[in-house]
Amino acid sequence: MALPDNCGRMTSYSSLIGLGKSCRHSSSIGGFAEHQGSTKLTPRGLPINATESERKTLEAGFKAMPQGFTRTLDQLADFLAKA
């Protein structure tokens, strides 16, 4: 899947941060592994072309990210259980 970035370029397998008017995006990857009978997801992300202020803003949100991922994946599990 390709999406346009802030500069109108098509970009694939990256998530867009969209901070400021300049071209900002991040590279994101994830890994799955079995852990104590469950599946563990380990997401990784790296901002690209971010200013120091933008990098600090992103880092400030790190603590809330596991809760957000957990809620999203729980909703996916509920959906799949009903499908």
Per-residue pLDDT, averaged over 38-55, amounts to: 83
pLDDT at 22 over 90: no
Q: What is the pTM of this model?
A: 0.48
Q: Quote the percentage of the chain above a pLDDT of 90.
A: 16
pLDDT of residue 6: 53
Dist. CA 75–CA 81, nearest whole Å: 10
Q: What are phi and psi of 55, to 5 degrees?
A: -65, -40
Per-residue pLDDT, averaged over 56-66, amounts to: 83
User: Three-state DSSP class for 55?
Assistant: helix
Dist. CA 3–CA 9, nearest whole Å: 8
Residue 69: what residue type? Answer: F
